[in-house]
Amino acid sequence: MPEKIIAGQTVTVDEEGYLQNPAQWNRDIAQEIASEMGIQLTDAHWKVIEFLRRDYQERGAVPGMRRLNKVAGIAIKDLYTLFPDGPIKKAARIAGCPKPTSCV
């Protein structure tokens, strides 16, 4: 697995840039990945990122759209506005989670 320096810290990533170890993540890394994507993180983004991390730690899988909607209470429209062109993948990458594996 390639290593990469993000926000001054060496992290292990896969070929697509997803962190392989969520423990190497911090908020500065999130900021830097987001700004590479052209996303300026707001409180609304952080709410999604924090839920993703918590849920991934508890369940071992990146939550799908329905779970983000029903459990975290985030509107689907908002997710597409916050993370345009691929909401779950982008949010997962910023949150330091692996690439999502769910089909829904």
State the residues that interact with another protein by CB under 8 A.
15-17, 64-67, 69, 75-77, 80, 84-89, 102-104
Closest CB 31 distance from another protein, rounded Å: 20
Nearest residue (CB) to another protein, 20 versus 69: 69
CB of 8 to another protein, least distance (A): 22
| CB nearer another protein, residue 53 or residue 67 | 67
What type of residue is 37? M
Distance separating alpha carbons of residues 93 and 33, to the nearest angstrom: 8
The four Cα atoms 72, 18, 45, 68 give a dihedral, to 10 degrees, of -20
CA pair distance 81, 91, nearest whole angstrom? 12
Instruction: Examine the residue annotation and report whether 97 is marked as an active-site residue of this protein.
Output: no
Give me the active site residues, please.
103
